[in-house]
């Protein structure tokens, strides 16, 4: 497998799916729709939907049921970036090489664009139910005429969608991403200990990565053992991803990152690099990556892409 080619193929698929599920322009809410489109079209690695799709395929998923969730997770991620960049939080003027939403559209419209993406993410995810209805209606049999096996399959898939929606609702919330963001805001300027920093990383960064891989596995009908492994893989990827972010904030250039460097220092944030230094941080990111790869290897050769993606994320330059 040519990893770079496969990653490009999957990223292009994600871009197509996002475009398909984004709202169309309307009358009086036109400006907020433009702001939503501006931030969603800024590119990025699309790591969360790629992880979701790859986990779904690894677990045996083969149809379009995953697609509204892929679009939804990227909408949620992008809303979090819009709000993260606001003057009240990180006060960043650039993201992905472009001016941030509040610079282009003003703070009020940026807040509304973030709110809109969060709400629209759930409008998008619930479209999975319509996909299920279409799938089973295509058999031509009415509900009363369906065989027992077909009914069991439909009910099972519906249950999987409900479970996926529960994860999509919980992981970005107060016991997930927002909880990590709250701790990050309140503890900025403080001397953090390891427990506090781990909590922030597990939630602010890791929660959406866990949501992505769990939803992929659940929608494909993976068993409990496989779901547990995917969650451990996602945890390691999330932690290593954030540590690598800390390293890049110290070592990369503006051109490489597409956003200001040394922003953690500017915002008086304690990071893994602050506590342990660059060398120890690199070793920890590598350790977490190898542990994730070891777990993925237990899935067999079908995990080749996810394995290479894990290693790519840890050694990325932006």
Instruction: Give dist(CA 217, CA 210) in Å, integer.
Output: 11
Predicted TM-score (pTM) of the model is 0.92
Cα–Cα dist 215/225, whole Å: 15
pLDDT tens-digit readout, 78-137: 999 999 999 999 899 998 889 999 999 999 999 999 999 999 999 999 999 999 988 887
Nearest to 36 by CA among 108, 115, 97, 94: 115
Of 70, 116, 94, 57, nearest in space to 306 by CA: 57
Handedness of CA 47, 293, 213, 222 (dihedral sign): positive
CA dist., res. 240 & res. 270, Å (int): 16
Residue 59 is predicted with a pLDDT of: 97
Positive/negative CA dihedral, 252, 258, 260, 263: negative
DSSP type of residue 98: E
Domain boundaries, the chain: 3-314
Query: 3-314: CATH homologous superfamily?
Result: Farnesyl Diphosphate Synthase (1.10.600.10)
Residue 119 to residues 11, 24, 112, Cα–Cα distance (Å): 24, 15, 10
For 267-285, the pLDDT digits (tens) are: 667 899 989 999 999 999 9
């Amino acid at each position: 497998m040519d990893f770079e080619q496969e990653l490009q193929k999957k990223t292009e698929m994600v871009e197509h799916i996002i475009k398909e599920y984004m709202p169309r322009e309307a009358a009086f809410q036109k400006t907020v729709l433009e702001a939503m489109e501006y931030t969603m079209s800024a590119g990025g690695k699309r790591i969360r939907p790629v992880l979701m799709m790859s986990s779904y395929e690894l677990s045996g998923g083969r149809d379009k049921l995953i697609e509204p969730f892929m679009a939804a997770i990227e909408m949620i991620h992008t809303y979090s970036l819009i709000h993260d960049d606001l003057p009240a939080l990180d006060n960043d003027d650039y993201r992905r090489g472009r001016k941030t939403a509040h610079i282009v559209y003003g703070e009020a419209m940026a807040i509304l664009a973030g709110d809109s993406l969060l709400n629209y993410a759930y409008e998008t995810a619930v479209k999975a139910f319509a996909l299920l209805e279409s799938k089973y209606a295509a058999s031509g049999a009415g509900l009363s005429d369906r065989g027992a096996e077909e009914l069991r399959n439909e009910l099972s898939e519906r249950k999987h969608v409900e479970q996926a929606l529960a994860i999509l609702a919980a992981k970005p919330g107060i016991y997930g991403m927002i909880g990590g963001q709250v701790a990050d805001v309140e503890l900025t300027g403080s001397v953090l200990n390891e427990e506090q920093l781990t909590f922030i990383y597990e939630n602010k960064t890791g929660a959406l990565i866990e949501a992505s891989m769990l939803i992929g596995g659940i929608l494909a009908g993976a068993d409990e053992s496989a779901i547990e492994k995917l969650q451990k893989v996602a945890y390691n990827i999330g932690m290593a991803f954030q540590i690598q972010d800390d390293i890049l904030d110290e070592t990369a250039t503006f051109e490489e990152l597409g956003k200001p460097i040394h922003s953690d220092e500017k915002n008086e944030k304690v990071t893994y690099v602050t506590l342990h230094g660059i060398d120890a941080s690199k070793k920890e990111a590598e350790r977490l990556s190898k542990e994730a790869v070891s777990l993925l290897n237990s899935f067999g050769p079908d995990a080749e892409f996810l394995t290479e993606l894990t290693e790519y994320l840890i050694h990325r330059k932006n």
